[in-house]
Amino acid sequence: MVAEAESGEEGLASGHPEEAIRIMRPLEKSFENDKFLAYNFATVYAAMGDPSNATKWLERSMDLREMPAIYIHIDPVFAKMQDTPAFHQLKKQMNLDW
């Protein structure tokens, strides 16, 4: 499974977001049984320019109290989402909206 996730990131990095999505969908379905962080899914969706799915996975990450979630306000992959209402709400819930 980790190799598949890495393949999804490679597909995204090589300019093939459809390949990344094809790989990510099955991983999402088995998310709770595997060792992937919700935060990792959020970063992939943010990098693909999909703020809706990125926010959904960030909410899960926050609910699960995943450690990387505390960095959403400084992680460059979320830079384009910084001014969206949903992202502000997440930061506010985490006391990161200063």
Closest residue by Cα to residue 61 from 47, 40, 83: 40
pLDDT at 32: 65
pLDDT at 14: 55
Please tell me what DSSP assigns to residue 69. G
User: How many whole angstroms separate alpha carbon 50 and alpha carbon 69?
Assistant: 18
User: How many whole angstroms separate alpha carbon 50 and alpha carbon 66?
Assistant: 21
Closest residue by Cα to residue 46 from 24, 64, 26: 24
pLDDT confidence of 33, banded at 50, 70, 90?
low
Residue 25 has a CB neighbour count (10 Å cut-off) of 10
pLDDT in tens, 47-87: 888 999 999 999 999 999 999 999 999 999 999 999 899 99
| Secondary structure (3-state) at 38 | helix
- pLDDT higher than 50, residue 5: no
pTM, entire model: 0.71
pLDDT in tens, 13-31: 556 677 777 777 777 776 6
